[in-house]
């Protein structure tokens, strides 16, 4: 038991010790899973006593039908230890070897979170045999010495640690109740056992393991900050003639800003929805920015990203910084010395339009340029 707790502590420290990461959620997915188990009898007969020399292994093939609901097929092996006292009061050890195949339904409560809790409900078949079952004080031979097949039901809770995209860590605890009372090696027909107060033996499984997602469906949008309100920006075909006119206008804006030492905003420097990827139109505008900046090689430029007010402040700060870095990287690729470019982000903190309106939010999602004077224009 103590080794299992050590593993849980190490897993938790590993996850919390990492930097925060965006959780990617998919509409469906297939995965393989493997886990180490610590099983232990929850209730036992009036003669036998549960012990701690237990272990088990688990393997699963799982399919998440939606972001919340999944199913998996799970073969398990568990070895459970118990003991009783013989006629001469000597301690006699009994080991149960049991294989199970369970079909399990899983409900992921918070799929968008880095640590995602889940509920589990399952049903399966069992095959088991005890090495040294209790035969009674008169050493009577009974059918308890044989191998048995049966059924079991399980329900459990756990959490998935989704720090990586295709690999996750998972821990959980399951309560399992069998269809018979032979698994502890001591059949006592009239006993009432377990949380459900049945005549079937019950045990628990503590588990810690790894999921490997080998196939993913489409990326889900359920983790958007506000579903059904945030407008969707569609790609619009770029008009070549319009860009030619705009680029001349861009040249004038930049040169006037450099001369007057004032910030400037280029409204067509836009990004794909909720991403830091520049649109093709934005790239053409930035080509002209690079052309003008080459005419003023001594000028240093600040690049500040801004967002609308959808999403958390923390998320928007990160998004605005990533967008500023995308602009910087494009200008570097266009021949501008990286030492001249300084990036920062303000997130949603400096709106210039009303975020209650779609038009205002579009205006607030902007990149602002300024003449860098040695002080960042960010909003930390």
Output the DSSP codes for 151-184.
EEEEEEEEEEE--SSSEEEEEEEEEEEESSS-TT
Most confident of the following: 56-60, 269-273, 353-357: 56-60
Q: For residues 237 and 95, give the distance between their C-alpha atoms in angstroms, rounded to a whole number.
A: 71
Most confident of the following: 46-55, 88-97, 210-219: 210-219
- Please say whether the beta carbons of 247 and 284 come within 8 A: yes
Phi, psi of 341 (to 5 degrees): -115, 130
- List Cβ neighbours of 329 (8 Å cut-off, separation of 6 or more): none
Using the predicted structure, report yes or no on whether residue 131 has a pLDDT greater than 50: yes
Most confident of the following: 51-55, 59-63, 90-94, 193-197: 59-63
pLDDT at residue 143, as a whole number: 65
Q: For residues 373 and 352, give the distance between their C-alpha atoms in angstroms, rounded to a whole number.
A: 23
Q: In sequence order, what DSSP letters do the residues of 206-258 get, joined into one string? A: EEEEEEEEEEE-SBP-TTSSSTTTSPPPPP-PPPHHHHHHHHHHHHHHHHHHH
Phi, psi of 92 (to 5 degrees): -120, 125
Q: Tell me, what DSSP letter sits at residue 144? A: G
The tokens describing 360, both together, are 């205002």
Q: For residues 156 and 177, give the distance between their C-alpha atoms in angstroms, rounded to a whole number.
A: 12
Using the predicted structure, report yes or no on whether residue 292 has a pLDDT greater than 70: yes
Q: For residues 53 and 95, give the distance between their C-alpha atoms in angstroms, rounded to a whole number.
A: 9
- Please say whether the beta carbons of 37 and 55 come within 8 A: yes
Average pLDDT over the chain reads: 81
The tokens describing 289, both together, are 């920015």
Domains of the chain plus CATH, in order, are 2-216 (2.40.160.20), 240-371 (3.30.1330.60)
């Amino acid at each position: 038991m103590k080794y299992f707790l050590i593993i849980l502590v190490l897993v938790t420290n590993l996850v919390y010790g990492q930097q925060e990461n965006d959780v990617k959620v998919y509409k469906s997915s297939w995965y393989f899973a493997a886990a180490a188990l610590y099983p232990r009898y929850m209730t036992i007969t009036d003669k036998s006593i549960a012990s701690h020399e237990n272990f088990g292994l688990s393997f699963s093939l799982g399919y998440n039908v939606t972001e919340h609901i999944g199913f998996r097929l799970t073969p398990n092996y568990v070895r459970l230890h118990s003991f009783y006292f013989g006629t001469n009061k000597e301690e006699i050890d009994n080991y149960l070897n049991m294989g199970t195949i369970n079909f399990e339904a899983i409900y992921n409560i918070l799929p968008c979170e880095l640590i995602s809790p889940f509920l589990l409900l399952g049903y399966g078949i069992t095959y088991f045999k005890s090495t040294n079952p209790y035969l009674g004080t008169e050493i009577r031979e009974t059918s308890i010495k044989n191998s048995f097949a049966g059924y079991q039901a399980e329900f459990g809770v756990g959490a998935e640690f989704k720090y990586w995209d295709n690999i996750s860590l998972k821990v959980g605890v399951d309560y399992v109740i069998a269809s018979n009372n032979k698994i502890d090696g001591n059949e006592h027909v009239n006993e009432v056992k377990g949380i459900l107060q049945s005549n079937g033996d019950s045990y628990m499984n503590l588990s810690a393991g790894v999921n490997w997602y080998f196939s993913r469906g489409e990326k889900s949008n359920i983790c958007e900050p506000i579903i059904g309100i945030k407008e969707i920006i569609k790609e619009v075909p770029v008009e070549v003639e319009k860009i030619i006119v705009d680029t001349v206008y861009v040249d004038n804006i930049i040169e006037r800003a450099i001369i007057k030492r004032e910030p400037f905003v280029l409204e067509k420097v836009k990004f794909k929805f909720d991403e830091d990827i520049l649109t093709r139109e934005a790239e053409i505008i930035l080509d002209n920015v690079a052309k003008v900046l080459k005419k003023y090689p001594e000028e240093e430029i600040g690049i500040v990203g801004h967002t609308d007010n959808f999403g958390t402040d923390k998320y928007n700060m990160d998004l605005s910084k990533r967008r500023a870095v995308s602009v910087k990287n494009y200008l570097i690729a266009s021949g501008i010395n990286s030492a001249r470019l300084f990036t920062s982000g303000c997130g949603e903190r400096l709106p210039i339009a009303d975020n209650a309106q779609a038009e205002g939010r579009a205006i607030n999602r902007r990149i602002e340029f300024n003449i860098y004077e040695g002080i960042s224009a960010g909003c930390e």
